[in-house]
Structure 1
């Protein structure tokens, strides 16, 4: 990756090719993207809690994002975009893969959801700013994390909220999320490079450099008796909110 002062490109061609090859399987809950379907309810639970805490006049509201715009970066085939649209948001999804965007658009149309999808590098799309920006399990795949976070910050309204999740770089995540998960086929081989995982402390420092304040992270943990769930255990994966520094 070249210096951030020279280029705003964060997409790795090999990452785009890997996920493009899986595009048509994205909505198959029993296929190669099954792990995403399992973690998605947990991510959405964290997202809903964050929305209610940030804006929630009525935590029981069925459409708490009504009147708000939302951007999902690295949207894949729309697993987060569609729930946000059902929560009332005016949703835009961006992904490096044109194949993913094609599948996302077709699925949204078949579900009678009005979602704007666009393929390409976020910095080149000139989308404006949003009340809510999300990016789940993406930053570990980008070439320059600071440049990427600055792009997310630029896409966020002054009083908006950023919500992200990503694997932690720990011995446990190397064993379970990379070695074991890929060996048994829980995630497709080549999905993760453990060296690209980032700790909460490192991510907090990068967010500060991007002019953002990171909230307290919540772990996404796994136990045989509970499956995937929100937890205080950050060793595998964690989710967090951020906002512009005051």
Structure 2
């Protein structure tokens, strides 16, 4: 495991402590991270289609991203990282919670997957001069401090012509009702305190912060059926959304 300096201004210590308490539950599909397990297949479909189209690859191939350098920022226990590795990508997962990195490494070994997991931040990778063909920034930006600096670092990690995927929650009354009050306090789908309204990020803010260097290629809303827990695409981005952007 890489040992790095974890004092970047974009890190929220409360968020680190929160996810560290839950680290041992990452691969429990019926535990507190079950929404991510359900969401993963859905977002991998989105990434697979748009990433393949961007690089002229066959999305139906068994391993369409063979050799493509992919960075999973805030990789947690490695749910998305493992999916991308199975599609052939050369995956680096960076995470600020040491327990999460250990869980991810152990599960990758158990799954016979070669994934480069690192304890650190996007800022650390920028300092190291690294760049990737695709950067995955999924369900992360609503947990960081100093969003402009964080997104600037993420942008620097995308090579020219490369792409970035961002998934997050809009800052709307609907999002508060559905994603916080409903999901955390009524349905108990997520532990209380997972999200904080003040830290939710409207997609227009993301686009404005990255607009100088990135072009938005696709945007979509995401809905979940509360009865069968099935995710679907929607043009409405009032709660959950995903953005696909390409660096100029």
Query: Is the pair's TM-score, using the shorter chain for normalization, greater than 0.5?
Result: yes
Paired position in structure 2 for 1:195 = 198
Residues 1:182 and 2:184 aligned together = yes
Q: 1:226 deviation in Å? A: 7.2
Q: 1:161 deviation in Å? A: 0.8
Please list every run of 5 or more consecutive structure 1 residues that lacks an aligned counterpart in the other structure. 1-6
Q: What do you get for the CA RMSD once the two structures are aligned?
A: 1.6
Contact 1:69 1:131 in 2 (8 A): yes
Paired position in structure 2 for 1:3 = none
Paired position in structure 1 for 2:56 = 56
Matches within 5 A, 1:100-111: 100-111=100-111
Matches within 5 A, 1:1-246: 9-125=9-125, 126=128, 128-183=130-185, 184-209=187-212, 211-223=213-225, 224=227, 227-245=230-248
How many Å separate the matches in 2 of 1:127 and 1:71? Answer: 14
TM (norm. structure 2) is 0.91
Residues 54-111 of structure 1: CA deviation (Å, up to 9, x unaligned): 1233232111111211100000000110011011111100011011000000000000
Secondary structure in 1 matching 2:218 = coil
More moved, 195-204 vs 136-145: 195-204
* Off by >6 Å, runs of 4+ in structure 1: none
Please list every run of 5 or more consecutive structure 2 residues that lacks an aligned counterpart in the other structure. 1-6
How many Å separate the matches in 2 of 1:32 and 1:51? Answer: 29
Q: 1:222 deviation in Å? A: 2.1
How many Å separate the matches in 1 of 2:89 and 2:42? Answer: 20
Secondary structure in 1 matching 2:45 = helix
Secondary structure in 1 matching 2:77 = coil
TM (norm. structure 1) is 0.92
Secondary structure in 1 matching 2:70 = strand
Contact 1:82 1:108 in 2 (8 A): yes
